[in-house]
Structure 1
């Protein structure tokens, strides 16, 4: 079929590649040219920093909103070369800043998904009017500057370095974005989640912008998702009991680990948060289904063994088991499988069985170890089921 017959002139088709493609259609890469896209830039850089820190097992990431509209992200990870790091080390920082990574986005249980799109540092660099990259490694501090994704000069050693790490400072391009004013509240909430989900990670956010008073927060949670559940419950009111039920487990059948925490509070509302590789899964998925299976099995077994349910009584419904329940379910998988374009639903079928079995076992053990509290929780669920 000819272009003449379709009214399409192939000579006018514009083929865009690399940096030009990102700048011409920024919404395709970061979601929007509004606040959402702006925050995505921050999350991409923070994601790189968090994974550098997690690779070293512990450390911190410091994010600063600067007075001139920039965002500075510094970590104390191992640092790395600007140039290609060879077959075992992967691409250097310069390659990450100037080209799309080869292959799919890195994944695995040790990789935290911070942003939504996973487009990496290349898109951040292309959509920034200026970007400065600094690496501190092996006692040397190297710096390179970019303008709208193009290196101003080769990287250069500028002096000695104390410690190791990477600092990236960027200024979102005002020619592209409708706003370059990041929301302190939005960033702080996401960083708080990351600290909950990655025990040992410290992450701070400092606002140095001139409007209003300077603000700063620092998040580090030694008890991980247990602290997360306690914080969620504090928003609802007093709990029936102060103890958070929590556990961690690695299961080779699902090629990953799980971290689960829960409690029942006096509030009728269910508060459930679920994550896969540190990404929120608002639509749930197999890890949430497995959690509900396990809770239902443990509650039902305890109630029948103690005569709280007669043989003819039906099992408590999922709605009753969830009433007043505050829980966080976090899994970290080598090969997470997300369903749909929004990455909000986890599809790994093995996860349901593994999480269900683990929750039933640990919650059942807690019922045995805390009989008075167990009766209080289970009786409330059973009586509620009878009222229905």
Structure 2
């Protein structure tokens, strides 16, 4: 079974490459809707649009192979919804996609939207491949939840240990935005710091709408931490690091994958220099399929891929491949094939899920901002 899945995934990408990156006209046939949900408006829309483009390119590439299911040609279409990074809107969007009779879900982006939405998808029997990193997303025993990125329990443990043992930062302050993602990764990071022999000298919090961090940072300045860790997105991390440097705080600044973005570099400006940002997965230059993906992406969207597009691409290919190999778009029939996924993708040479839906191959890459760019300085864990 695993060999069959791998062979199809490689063959489909080889077909696209043979077409020179163009999009072949899919044969007329049944339309199969794939649901997609992420923030497409608001301060986190940069993440959602990046993710959406990766998923759309995967659909285009897969359709270029002129797939057939049940002896009939099919054409996959992406049914995209904007969840605004809001849990309540997320559940509304989830129900709308279910009512639209989509055959599977790519999304949501945030843990805070993915977790409540997953209850609805599981009840409907729809597999969901999410960008959520909170351990709780896959911890409830659902057979429908799958992950696109390294979980916070994996990344937080690796990063907390790395900060203490490798970077030699012992006294660490932690701030989070109280979202499921931000608080969750801060908790995992704090536990790992303490287990490695470091000390969390202060924990504080803000929210994912805040822009003024003067009070929190002024309080921390007097404590003189070796490093300040922030759990949250770039809308807060970029003004936070600017304020740190304006206040004369020389502590190292460490944060997670939501800050590996052009926004963090642009808004943070010179203050972002030296920041440590980690992200699950390999750096682009070490991803086995990134070069070809980048060429097709630029031809399709006339811009460079950003951060999340390669992951949503792989997740979408995994979903469609499961349907192809099951010879069915019925979630009850193809979900077991998804659970047995074993394919060579853009981001990893071995994309496979464990029994909970977490990625088996889960490296973490640490980046340092140097001369306005993210320079990979270390990759830990994983098999790739």
| Structure with bigger gyration radius | 1
Superposed pair shares fold, TM > 0.5? no
Task: Give TM-score, length-normalised by structure 1.
Answer: 0.27
Higher helix share: 2
Structure in which a larger fraction of residues adopt strand: 1
